């Protein structure tokens, strides 16, 4: 096999039905034997949400012996996770006489390559979708509602953000895959030297901490405000929301970025930069990781990869590193995480084999092997993964807890509007991040009013364009 490759309790996520690999393989073999759909679901252990007479029964897709498929996704920031993902793809291939090629590129390049494949109607059979891309590329994403229903039967409800991103007009255009939680990793030794007792709970505390670090002459808290698909979006959208700012109303049509709340968010950011918080418009997602490992910054917002790699690989600052949840603003705590789902492309000649591979990867036993190897960098998108041992097991690292805590408060770009082609367009154009970046030029003295008006104009061109 090739290697090219405001929190509310959700009652739907309280109960799940375990789906072991044995049950999946049993069901798959029964499907291959041509048995009816109902016995297949029973063999899978299906519980609640059984199909009714008005809903077609879900059928387990059958991989075609001799098939060859390609899967395109990002390069993991935890290298061992790449190796485990490829191992599972190869294992699926060996069991089913299928050749699986996993092609990996940086996530910054993934959008360009995805757009090219969609335009050409040719390319990888499966493409990893970031954020709301299933809405952006819905016309070329296969209907995988059948497969998501199978997973719901066994793993319970889908996490709300994955569900919103994967489902387009009531049809699943991608199989929910993972959540990469973003929290702050910080140097406890530098914080102690600056007289900071704990990670800031509010953005005002954050500003004070930035000032104390600067006064102590130690490396700063730093973050990108550039076009980084993860670290920029997961920073500036929550800042905007936590001050009450919004890009667009819940109707998904009315642009409301030009508001007092938006200005308050920007004014906070300007004061934070003037106090000692350092922003980098040139940074892409790998850059803050490298800066932390090189002892150039005290803290940054990121996935858990910085801490995990310090602990597992580098051993330079692991003893003096900890993690903290995103601070809250005047309107409360808001977070945003990287959301990845896998789409089977309509142009693929091996759609059924591709769908079978995705179910294999989402098998509970397989998925927990993946998250264990990744060390907590990922959180699963179904209820059955809520109590992942990597976060709550006897060997769980308590420093990883903030990464679990930021999952449930997570929103999506364009919130409170539902994900749509328009919210995806606004996100891929980095409109909110650009607004902050322009305002934070010249050490936090950029033209706020010009930045807000430019963001408003760009958003109106997307959301209020005549139909």
Quote the number of domains for the chain.
2
Q: Are residues 118 and 33 in the same domain?
A: yes
Cβ–Cβ under 8 Å, residues 221 and 210: yes
Cβ–Cβ under 8 Å, residues 339 and 44: no
In a domain, 402, yes or no: no
Higher pLDDT residue, 44 or 282?
282
Q: Are residues 309 and 343 in the same domain?
A: no
Q: Are residues 171 and 235 in the same domain?
A: no
Query: Phi, psi at residue 262, to the nearest 5°?
Result: -60, -45
Is the bond preceding 416 in cis, omega lying within 30 degrees of 0?
A: yes
In a domain, 401, yes or no: no
Q: Are residues 307 and 366 in the same domain?
A: no
Which ranges in 217-311 belong to alpha helices (H)? 233-242, 260-275, 285-293, 305-309
Range of the domain at 250: 183-335+411-463
Mean pLDDT, rounded, for 377-381: 97
- Which band of pLDDT confidence, cut at 50, 70 and 90, is reported for residue 27? very low
Higher pLDDT residue, 276 or 18?
276
Q: Are residues 324 and 344 in the same domain?
A: no
In a domain, 4, yes or no: no
What local confidence, expressed as pLDDT, does residue 392 receive?
93
What local confidence, expressed as pLDDT, does residue 185 receive?
98
Which CATH number covers residue 281?
A: 3.40.190.10
In a domain, 405, yes or no: no
Q: Are residues 97 and 223 in the same domain?
A: no
Please say if the pLDDT value at position 193 is more than 70: yes
What local confidence, expressed as pLDDT, does residue 28 receive?
39
What local confidence, expressed as pLDDT, does residue 108 receive?
84
Q: Are residues 92 and 129 in the same domain?
A: yes
In a domain, 404, yes or no: no
Which residues does residue 328 pair with via DSSP β-bridges, in sequence order?
Answer: 202
Higher pLDDT residue, 195 or 11?
195
In a domain, 406, yes or no: no
Q: Are residues 331 and 344 in the same domain?
A: no
- Which band of pLDDT confidence, cut at 50, 70 and 90, is reported for residue 19? very low
pTM of structure: 0.85
Helices 351-362 & 79-96, crossing angle to 10 degrees?
A: 120
Tokens 């049509």 belong to 253
State the sign of the Cα–Cα–Cα–Cα dihedral 76, 80, 83, 84.
negative
Q: Are residues 386 and 419 in the same domain?
A: no
Q: Are residues 239 and 148 in the same domain?
A: no
In a domain, 300, yes or no: yes
133-180 residue pLDDT tens: 999 999 999 999 999 999 999 999 999 999 999 999 999 999 999 999
Domain boundary (371, 396, 421) is at 396
Please say if the pLDDT value at position 39 is more than 70: no
Mean pLDDT, rounded, for 241-256: 98
Residues 77 and 397: their CA atoms lie apart, in Å, by 19
In a domain, 403, yes or no: no
Which ranges in 49-187 belong to alpha helices (H)? 79-96, 107-120, 133-136, 145-155, 160-166
Domain boundary (396, 429, 445) is at 396
Q: Which residues contact 409 (CB under 8 A, 6 or more apart)?
A: 6, 7, 333, 334, 335
Q: What angle do CA 77, 79, 83 make, to 5 degrees?
A: 135
Mean pLDDT, rounded, for 29-57: 36
Q: Are residues 193 and 131 in the same domain?
A: no
Q: Are residues 349 and 439 in the same domain?
A: no
């Amino acid at each position: 096999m090739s290697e090219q490759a405001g929190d509310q309790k959700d009652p739907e996520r309280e109960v799940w039905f375990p789906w072991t690999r044995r049950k999946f393989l049993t069901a798959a073999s029964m499907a291959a034997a041509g048995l009816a759909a109902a016995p297949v679901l029973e063999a899978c252990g299906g519980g609640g949400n059984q199909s009714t007479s008005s809903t077609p029964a879900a059928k387990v897709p059958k991989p075609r012996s001799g098939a060859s498929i390609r899967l395109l996704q990002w390069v993991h920031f935890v290298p061992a996770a790449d190796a485990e993902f490829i191992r599972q793809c190869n294992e699926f291939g060996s069991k089913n006489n299928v050749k699986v090629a996993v092609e990996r590129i940086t996530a910054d390049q993934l959008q360009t390559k995805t757009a090219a494949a969609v335009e050409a109607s040719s390319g990888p059979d499966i493409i990893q979708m970031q954020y709301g891309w299933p809405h952006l590329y819905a016309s070329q994403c296969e209907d995988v509602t059948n497969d998501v229903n199978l997973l719901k039967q066994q793993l319970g409800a889908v996490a709300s953000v994955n569900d919103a991103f994967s489902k387009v007009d009531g049809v699943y255009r991608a199989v929910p895959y993972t959540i990469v939680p973003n929290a702050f990793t910080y140097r406890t030794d530098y914080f102690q030297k600056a007289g900071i007792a704990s990670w800031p709970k509010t953005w005002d505390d954050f500003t004070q901490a930035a000032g104390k670090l600067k006064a102590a002459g130690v490396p700063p808290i730093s973050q990108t405000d550039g076009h980084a698909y993860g670290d920029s979006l997961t920073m500036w959208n929550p800042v905007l929301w936590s001050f009450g700012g919004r890009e667009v109303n819940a109707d998904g049509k009315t642009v409301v970025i030009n508001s007092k709340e938006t200005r308050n968010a920007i004014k906070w950011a300007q004061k934070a930069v003037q106090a000692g918080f350092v922003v980098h418009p040139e940074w892409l997602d790998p850059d803050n990781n490298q800066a932390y490992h090189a002892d150039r910054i005290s803290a940054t917002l990121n996935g858990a990869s910085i801490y995990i790699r310090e602990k597992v690989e580098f051993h330079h600052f692991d003893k003096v590193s900890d993690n903290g949840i995103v601070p809250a603003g005047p309107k409360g705590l808001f977070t945003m995480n990287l959301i990845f789902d896998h789409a089977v492309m309509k142009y693929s000649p091996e759609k059924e084999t591709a769908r079978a591979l995705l179910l294999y990867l989402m098998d509970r036993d397989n998925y927990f092997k993946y998250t264990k190897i990744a060390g907590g960098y990922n959180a699963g998108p179904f209820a059955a993964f809520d109590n992942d041992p990597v976060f709550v097991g006897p060997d769980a690292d308590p420093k990883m807890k903030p990464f679990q805590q930021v999952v449930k408060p997570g929103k999506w770009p364009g919130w409170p509007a539902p994900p749509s082609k328009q919210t995806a367009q606004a996100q891929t154009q980095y409109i909110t991040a650009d607004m902050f970046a322009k305002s934070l030029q010249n050490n936090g003295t950029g033209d706020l009013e010009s930045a807000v008006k430019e963001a408003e104009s760009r958003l109106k061109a997307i959301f209020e364009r005549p139909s």
